[in-house]
Amino acid sequence: MDALEGTHWDVIVSGTGLQQSLLVLALSRSNKKILHVDRNDFYGGNEAAFSLQEARSWVIERPSSYSLGARAVEKPSGPDESGASTKLGPSRAYSLSLAPHLIFTRSALLPILVSSKVHRQLEFLPVGSWWVFNRSPEDPSSSPTAGPKLTKIPSSREDVFASDAIEIRSKRALVKFLRFVAEYEAQADVWEPFASRPFTDFLVEHFKLPKDLHDPLLALTLSLEHHSHTTTILALQRIARHLRSMGVFGAGFGSLIPKWGGLSEIAQVACRAGAVGGAVYILGTGVVRVESDEKVGEQNDDGSSQSRAVRVGLGGGISVTADWIVGSRDDLPSRTTRGGLEDAATPGSSTSQSVSRAIFIVSSPLVPLFPPISEGSPRPAGAVVYFPSGSISTEESDQGSNAPPIYVFAHSSDTGECPSGQTMMTPN
């Protein structure tokens, strides 16, 4: 560490989340001298992936300055009726992702990974089926055996036609809608009047889609809002993204998950590639102080008087200088002296949303959740289960009707996130 004292860097990047890591990767290939630090002793920031033990200490020990709310770890000690093994595997057999993501196959991220060649160190697995949770029918007598069940969302127009669950008339309306979404941008006259109205209004008023078909479409929006707040424009963008992503890398799937813990793995691979390109890495050392420094500024050799050089204090009392310092607000000191920093983020826009998230380790492979998707396509390792607003009882739904829906990302052990025979479930 002492060897760093007084060194000068083109760029100091604070935090090893996905964005910072990709930035360093790019800069390291532009012959920039980069110091990449993270106050955490792990890679990935808010997208990190942990062993069981690491997850436990993360929950218990995170400093309160972290922009996260309440959190807890529990190991249920309930009776084991089935006799199945509910034992956890060794801590390191798990890779608990703090922020599981779906990467749509049309995502701009993927071409970046390919062109930078870091994709060779990554493995991507397909997300197969999307499911909708259906409550038991209102009138249980109509179908005595019917309990709550999961219904698979058709993944293509062919699937829609093949489905027994949809009436012929509804099928026509649905296919008409799907055709429309495929080219919705060119038909602004159709949707613009509904743009900021609830998506369900649009489905009912324009496409006459029956209510039982709303949930599958809402599921595809991945909207974290109650459907009365899910606007038509958002829904169209998201559903179009979903449909256009289908089949890009193989039939029957439109999104991917990186093996071994999601975005954390991409961040780590990017950081390693950054290191190969010359970036210097220090974990467990944050930026504690940033101030402008005239003396450093005078050394600026491009003749411009607009020097950006800053003096940066790192944890451990090390002081270095840099032309640029980059980091999210989580990773930079909140106060900087004499405007040495520009806060690029829009300040305090009050759109902050809070999301509740949990990670469940399920002692079953839940094979039926991951049916084969299509001949010739890789075996799916992920599935999405959509619980419509109010379909299950939560504290929020008990208090009001506008409870948000819940998405559960299910990852099979093929993701390397848990031992074989178990499944990771992450409700959002």
Partner 1 sequence: MADSGAGSAPKPSSSVKLVLLGEAAVGKSSLVMRFVNNDFQENKEPTIGAAFLTQKCTLPTRTIKFEIWDTAGQERFASLAPMYYRNAQAALVVYDITKASSLTKAQHWVAELQRQASPGIVIALVGNKADLANPSSGTDEEGAEPPAAPPSGPTDTDAPADADGAGVPADGEDASAPPSGADSDDGADGDDAAADARKVPMRTAKAYADEEGLLFFETSAKTGANVAAVFTAIANAIPETSLKGSRGGVGGQTSLGAGRGQEGDRVNLTGRAGDMGAKEGCAC
Task: Tell me the CA distances in angstroms from 254 to 131, 223, 245, 399, 424, one per residue in order.
Answer: 15, 17, 4, 36, 20
Determine the number of helices (DSSP H) and then strands (DSSP E) in the chain: 12, 16
Q: Does 331 bind partner 1 (CB under 8 A)?
A: no
* Alpha-carbon gap, residue 204 to 275, rounded angstroms: 54
Closest CA to 358 of 421, 408, 399: 408
* Alpha-carbon gap, residue 339 to 276, rounded angstroms: 34
Q: Strand 49-50 and strand 382-387: pairing?
A: unpaired
Phi, psi of 258 (to 5 degrees): -75, 140
In total, the chain counts a number of residues equal to 428
Q: Does 32 bind partner 1 (CB under 8 A)?
A: no
Q: Does 288 bind partner 1 (CB under 8 A)?
A: no
Which of 59, 73, 84, 114: binder of partner 1 (CB under 8 A)? 114
Which of 59, 84, 276, 358: binder of partner 1 (CB under 8 A)? 276
Which of 17, 45, 216, 416: binder of partner 1 (CB under 8 A)? 416
Q: What is the DSSP string of 66-125?
A: SS-------------SS--------GGG--EESS---EETT-THHHHHHHTTGGGG--EE
Closest CA to 324 of 336, 338, 342: 342
Provide, rounded to whole angstroms, the least separation between the CB of residue 358 and partner 1. 23
**Which of 282/296 has CB closer to partner 1?**
282
Number of residues near partner 1 (by CB under 8 A): 53
Residues 54-113 that bind partner 1 (CB under 8 A): 92-93, 105-106, 108, 110-113
Provide, rounded to whole angstroms, the least separation between the CB of residue 81 and partner 1. 26
> Do 76 and 24 contact (CB within 8 A), yes or no?
no
| Site stretch for partner 1 (CB under 8 A), options 165-173, 229-237, 264-272, 352-360 | 264-272
Q: Does 244 bind partner 1 (CB under 8 A)?
A: no
* Alpha-carbon gap, residue 161 to 4, rounded angstroms: 65
Which of 71, 172, 357, 379: binder of partner 1 (CB under 8 A)? 379
Both tokens assigned to 357:
């998230």
Which of 62, 120, 179, 357: binder of partner 1 (CB under 8 A)? 120
Q: Does 366 bind partner 1 (CB under 8 A)?
A: no
**Which of 285/389 has CB closer to partner 1?**
285
Q: Does 124 bind partner 1 (CB under 8 A)?
A: yes
Residues in contact with partner 1 by CB under 8 A are 1, 26, 29, 43, 92-93, 105-106, 108, 110-121, 123-126, 248-250, 256, 259-260, 265, 268-269, 271-273, 275-277, 280-285, 378-379, 413-414, 416, 419-420
